[in-house]
């Protein structure tokens, strides 16, 4: 059973729980290692990212907890860097690089917030073409390593989040396969892909990101994966990890984990 979780949010931004309460819960769950990954500062989003001031407080808070609980649990201070974040990767143990917004012709669109926001982006920025939207998204995703210095690629196909709520891409999927394949080929040399159960715990999805087709492709080219909860509540640590592990093993994956900025592997 996997008992390590490397994508965890706190009440520093949009999580429900204070970091120490999460650590206490993690110890109760028998978690061996936990990695905090708060949303890094994004200049145009004061709501869903750390302020400059809180960025320092966040790092200090996790550092203190690391020391306080060192006999009970291993704690890592990571960060979830958005495509548009301007924080410095060097300040953290590791970086998850993720896309939450698209910028098209100087307009910013939130693409993992609500079905309406995503539909508005497709309508206004891409004249209603889902295919153009997907191509643009995966072109940007392929740049995540350069933009964020990511060690882990976060929720690679997050745009599937609202597929059961009116944003269905099944009609355009086939034509955009070369675009996500390109992104995977490019990123898999330097990054590990996260298999993220956050869409399930929040009721949007029944399967993790990325979908099985993409996971099979990642496996076939020798890519690596780590299972993450993306939890915004302490109760969701390790959410659905057993089921996800089964899916990954049925594809052929044998080991899960990632390499931090110092080059140390964290095997789950």
The answer to whether 149 contacts Zn ion (rule: CB under 5 A) is no
Q: Using CB under 5 A, which of the segments 10-18, 92-100, 128-136, 141-149 binds Zn ion?
A: 92-100
Helices (H), the chain: 19-28, 52-68, 115-126, 130-141, 144-148, 173-187, 198-201, 212-220, 241-251
**What span, in angstroms and rounded, lies between the C-alpha atoms of 199 and 96?**
17
Asked if 257 contacts 265 with a C-beta cutoff of 8 angstroms, the reply is yes
The answer to whether 98 contacts Zn ion (rule: CB under 5 A) is yes
> Quick check: bond before 99 cis, omega within 30?
no
Among 5, 17, 38, 230, binds Zn ion (CB under 5 A): 230
Q: Using CB under 5 A, which of the segments 23-31, 60-68, 72-80, 166-174 binds Zn ion?
A: 72-80
Cβ proximity to Zn ion: between 87 and 230 the closer is 230
Alpha-carbon torsion 173, 178, 184, 187, what sign?
A: negative
| Region at 257 (left for phi over 0; alpha for psi -120 to 50; beta for the rest) | left
Among 80, 151, 157, 194, binds Zn ion (CB under 5 A): 80
Q: Write each residue from 185 to 224 as x if it is in contact with Zn ion (CB under 5 A), else as -, in one continuous string.
A: ----------------------------------------
CB of 159 to Zn ion, least distance (A): 12
CB of 100 to Zn ion, least distance (A): 6
Residues that bind Zn ion (CB under 5 A): 80, 98, 230
């Amino acid at each position: 059973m996997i008992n390590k979780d490397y994508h965890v949010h706190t009440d520093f931004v949009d999580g429900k729980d204070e970091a120490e309460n999460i650590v206490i819960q993690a110890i109760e769950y028998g978690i061996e290692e936990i990695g905090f990954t708060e949303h890094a500062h994004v200049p145009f989003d004061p709501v869903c990212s750390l302020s400059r001031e809180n960025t320092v407080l966040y790092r200090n808070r996790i550092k203190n907890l690391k020391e306080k609980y060192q006999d009970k649990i291993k704690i890592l201070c990571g960060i979830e860097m958005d495509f548009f974040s301007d924080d410095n990767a060097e300040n953290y143990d590791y970086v998850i690089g993720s896309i939450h917004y698209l910028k098209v012709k100087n307009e910013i669109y939130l693409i993992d917030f609500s079905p309406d926001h995503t539909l508005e982006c497709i309508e206004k920025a891409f004249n209603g073409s889902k295919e153009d939207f997907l191509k643009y998204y995966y072109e940007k995703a392929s740049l995540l390593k350069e933009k964020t210095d990511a060690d882990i690629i976060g929720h690679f196909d997050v745009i599937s989040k609202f597929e059961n709520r009116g944003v269905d891409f099944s009609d355009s999927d086939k034509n955009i396969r070369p675009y996500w394949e390109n992104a995977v080929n490019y990123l898999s040399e330097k990054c590990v892909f996260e298999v993220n159960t956050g869409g399930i715990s929040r009721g949007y999805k029944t399967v993790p990101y990325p979908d099985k087709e993409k996971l099979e492709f990642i496996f076939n080219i020798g890519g690596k994966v780590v299972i993450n909860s993306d939890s915004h509540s302490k109760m969701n640590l390790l959410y659905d990890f057993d089921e996800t592990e089964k899916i990954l093993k049925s594809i052929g994956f044998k080991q899960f984990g990632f390499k931090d900025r110092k080059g140390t592997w964290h095997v789950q």
